[in-house]
């Protein structure tokens, strides 16, 4: 049973952002940040929210190798100016603005991965991302080794990161009870030209990379396939956060994570409720400890919004740049 549960958790890890995509802010956090940055009309706000989530669209796409997914991660999170520098309509500018806001170099993901503003410091006193620091706290206080003897340390740490990200997403609903609905609306109503706009931006550079062996047309199709899956998963995720009670949201997100195990792992799995209850426990720890204490999530979130608003403005990415005619 323990071996089966360990293997199942490995499957969740693969689904929940294993490799370079780990340790980021969750989708609800990104949605809240871009919603707070917005000063435009409702339609462009929804496109900005979707653009802010879009760089993570390959988190759940496993039809390609890790090398290809890592290459796309780097292009989306570090070569993000490629999408901003393209000729854009008003709605495409809103999407591009959100896309740029997500970046790991100096954008929102920088405070999650590399250097928290209000909280985040390594044992050596070096800057560390907010999510990274809380994952280490989770490891110290609720080690997976207790439940899964022999689980590799690096695998356990990746899971702690995943639990922190989703726990913080659930906390975000306390700030904005409509955040799940906003994610749904942004997903369903994102500008129809976005997919071609994104594929036109990144297909050529992906095809030219050493990681990818396909043609530019095949790269373009890859983006279409990944975004189709991404929109479906965002719909499931948004519905989970839109549940009326926090207990229901925790249960829905726990099932959301556990549901992928059978899709990615053959063989006998433990009863779903066993896995779901374990995930619930870790999400509950994050929710109970990341609000109203040292390392408060809301403090870091608001500080990130202020920092990012100033950073975008200083770099010339002001809201007025995409408030032109559609």
Separation between Cα atoms, residue 121 and residue 208, nearest integer Å: 38
Residues of the chain with pLDDT under 50: 1-3, 6-8, 10-11, 13-20, 263-267, 321-326
| Inter-CA distances, 162 with 102, 195, 235, 288, 323, Å | 18, 27, 19, 16, 36
Beta carbons of 202 and 68 less than 8 angstroms apart: no
Separation between Cα atoms, residue 119 and residue 111, nearest integer Å: 9
Separation between Cα atoms, residue 200 and residue 143, nearest integer Å: 45
What is the pTM for the complete model shown? 0.89
Separation between Cα atoms, residue 209 and residue 73, nearest integer Å: 13
* Two structure tokens written together for 159: 């899971």
pLDDT the model gives residue 44: 83
Q: What percent of the chain has pLDDT over 90?
A: 64
> What count of other Cβ atoms lies within 10 Å of the Cβ of residue 320?
9
Q: What is the pLDDT of residues 158-197, one digit of tens each?
A: 889 989 999 999 999 999 999 999 999 999 999 999 999 9
User: What HEC string does 176-214 produce?
Assistant: CCCHHHHHHHHHHHCCCCHHHHHHHHHHHHHHHCCCCCC
Beta carbons of 47 and 191 less than 8 angstroms apart: yes
E strand or H helix at 74: helix 66-78
pLDDT the model gives residue 265: 41
Sign of CA dihedral 285, 4, 1, 140: negative
* Two structure tokens written together for 56: 């993570």
CA nearest to 44, candidates 9, 86, 100, 93: 93
pLDDT the model gives residue 319: 54
Separation between Cα atoms, residue 180 and residue 243, nearest integer Å: 8
Beta carbons of 148 and 5 less than 8 angstroms apart: yes
Sign of CA dihedral 36, 297, 81, 202: negative
pLDDT the model gives residue 14: 47
Beta carbons of 173 and 180 less than 8 angstroms apart: yes
């Amino acid at each position: 049973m323990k071996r089966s549960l360990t293997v199942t958790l490995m499957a969740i890890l693969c689904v929940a952002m294993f490799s370079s995509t780990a340790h980021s802010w969750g989708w609800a956090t990104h949605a809240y940040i871009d919603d707070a940055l917005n000063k435009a009309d409702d339609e462009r706000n929804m496109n900005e929210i979707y653009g802010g989530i879009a760089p993570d669209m390959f988190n759940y796409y496993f039809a390609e190798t890790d090398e290809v997914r890592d290459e796309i991660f780097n292009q989306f999170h570090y070569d993000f100016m490629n999408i901003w520098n393209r000729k854009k309509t008003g709605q495409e500018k809103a999407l591009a603005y959100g896309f740029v806001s997500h970046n790991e170099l100096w954008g929102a993901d920088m405070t999650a991965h590399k250097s928290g503003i209000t909280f985040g410091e390594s044992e050596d006193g070096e800057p560390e991302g907010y999510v990274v620091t809380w994952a280490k706290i989770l490891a110290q206080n609720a080690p997976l080794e207790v439940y899964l003897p022999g689980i590799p340390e690096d695998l356990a740490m990746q899971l702690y990161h995943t639990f922190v990200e989703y726990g913080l997403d659930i906390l975000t609903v306390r700030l904005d009870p409509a955040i799940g609905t906003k994610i749904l609306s942004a997903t369903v109503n994102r500008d129809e030209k976005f997919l071609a706009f994104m594929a036109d931006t990144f297909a050529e550079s992906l095809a030219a990379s050493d990681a990818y062996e396909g043609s530019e047309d095949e790269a373009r199709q890859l983006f279409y396939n990944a975004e189709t899956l991404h929109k479906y998963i965002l719909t499931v995720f948004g519905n989970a956060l839109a549940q009326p009670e926090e207990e229901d949201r925790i249960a829905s997100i726990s099932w959301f994570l556990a549901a992928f195990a059978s899709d990615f792992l053959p063989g006998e799995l433990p009863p779903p409720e066993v896995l779901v209850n374990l995930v619930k426990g870790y999400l509950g720890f994050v929710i109970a400890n990341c609000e109203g204490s040292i390392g408060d999530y809301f403090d870091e979130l608001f500080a990130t919004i202020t920092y990012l608003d100033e950073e975008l403005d200083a770099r010339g990415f002001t809201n007025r740049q995409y408030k032109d005619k559609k």
